[in-house]
Chain A
């Protein structure tokens, strides 16, 4: 039996009738058409599907869309404003924080929460907070630098 779900994604309200077993990540990608959120391992380990739900980083492959009924969701598509990259996105650009880019949306969404909880993070804090996001290209070195760049930039703007 299908159930109605309604949520706000990047500020826009969406509503659909879905099967309860539909995963949130497939809802976002296929029903709403926002394909920036990736499906990687599909076992809640790699973090490629990380989004913000009510301000908290969660793995969208490990949630059913019906669990997100009424929630406010933010995906990678909602970060840039008026054609200007978010400082975290800009940091990944400046510090070459990616190679293939597959893990990048999840990395950036995880970094959003990281910098909200730890606005001036140590390198150790960054690495600990990224434990749920796997990158198979870069060895994380430049990802850490990108987030440090973003932290400094965001602090300077305040």
Chain B
């Protein structure tokens, strides 16, 4: 399959890329790993006249500790996230989530920034990013701004990045104290996309009481969402099995669950509850150490 013809640009800096984006506007698409965009172009669902490849821009691929957070460059590949010793030690759920995206060849090229800017409703990383309360750094002609994760996912494949901006960095707060997390999904057997995926991060105090909880759900609706009702059922409580089950029972509330080829609203709502419970059980077990 051949995409429609396009002009290819490989800028050498963020500034140059922003210049091209400002020049070609809606006629341009940004190319990161290309594992969502290129298939869409081959199916002619996307027909950009100008393709701006970000691969040659130096300095967008890194994972480093930076002021209470782990800063991840937007062009960092899923494999780099999967195999990062720093993340495995400090934010292991990010590595574990990256390790179940697509397949090894996809992970070698697909990027964290590309995935989060594309915002496929069945992508894995959005759930984990929501559970961690991450932040997004966008660069535009007027400089950089930071967007909180709760303001990031706006709708179906739609995010807060503006048309003249580039997502350049994702910032994940470092875990404090007794914290544990997990991401679990029911994968589609062929595509490995999440039919439903749930990520949970919980922090416990010395007495075992939950002081902080983050729960993200992906796959179920048109975008990944925070499961606020689940979180509210956890904070301030001792996370025994009954509490976890009662909280997870609310995992489909506030999620605009959509029926699709994978399942009915009832079925996918059930998956939300089951996978939220399993993710919470694993997260609590890890937090207790």
Residues of A within 8 A of B (CB): 1, 3, 19-21, 23, 42-45, 47, 50, 56-59, 62-64, 66-67, 110, 113-114, 129, 131-133
Contacts and interface: CB of A to CB of B under 8 A. Distances in A.
A43 B39 contact: yes
A64 B38 contact: yes
Interface stretch (B17-25, B68-76, B104-112): B104-112
Interface in B1-40: 1-8, 10, 31, 34-35, 38-39
Nearest to B109: A58
B42 interface: yes
A58 B105 contact: yes
Contacts of B164: none
B104 A57 contact: yes
A135 to B, nearest CB: 14
A158 to B, nearest CB: 22
Given A45-B190, A63-B109, A131 B104 contact: yes
B8 A44 contact: no
A47 B108 CA distance: 13
Interface residues on B, range: 20 to 34
Contacts of B3: 21
Given A57-B105, A58-B105, A19 B5 contact: yes
A143 B165 CA distance: 46
B53 to A, nearest CB: 6
A19, A21, A129: most-surrounded residue (chain B CB, <10 A): A21
B55 interface: yes
B51 interface: yes
B191 A45 contact: yes
B192 interface: yes
Nearest to A51: B105
A59, A110, A114: most-surrounded residue (chain B CB, <10 A): A59
A116 B108 CA distance: 14
Given A66-B8, A113-B104, A131-B103, A44 B35 contact: yes
Nearest to A133: B103
27 contacts: A3-B8, A20-B6, A20-B7, A42-B1, A42-B42, A43-B39, A44-B38, A56-B108, A57-B104, A57-B108, A59-B105, A59-B106, A62-B34, A62-B38, A62-B109, A63-B34, A63-B109, A64-B34, A66-B8, A66-B10, A67-B31, A67-B55, A110-B105, A113-B104, A129-B104, A131-B103, A131-B104
Contacts of A62: 34-35, 38-39, 109
B53 A67 contact: yes
A47 B105 contact: yes
A21 B35 contact: no
B8 A20 contact: yes
Interface of B: 1-8, 10, 31, 34-35, 38-39, 42, 51, 53, 55, 79, 102-106, 108-109, 190-192
Contacts of B38: 44, 62-64
Contacts of B103: 47, 131-133
B2 A21 contact: yes
B215 to A, nearest CB: 26
A49 B192 CA distance: 19
B53 A50 contact: no
A44 B106 contact: yes
A21, A44, A131: most-surrounded residue (chain B CB, <10 A): A44
A62 B1 CA distance: 10
A51 to B, nearest CB: 9
Nearest to A114: B104
A19 B7 CA distance: 9
A36 B46 CA distance: 30
A43 B42 contact: yes
B10 to A, nearest CB: 8
Given A21-B4, A66-B8, A131-B192, A58 B39 contact: no
Contacts of A23: 2
A1 B104 contact: no
Contacts of B104: 57, 110, 113-114, 129, 131-132
Nearest to A106: B105
A50, A63, A64, A66: most-surrounded residue (chain B CB, <10 A): A64
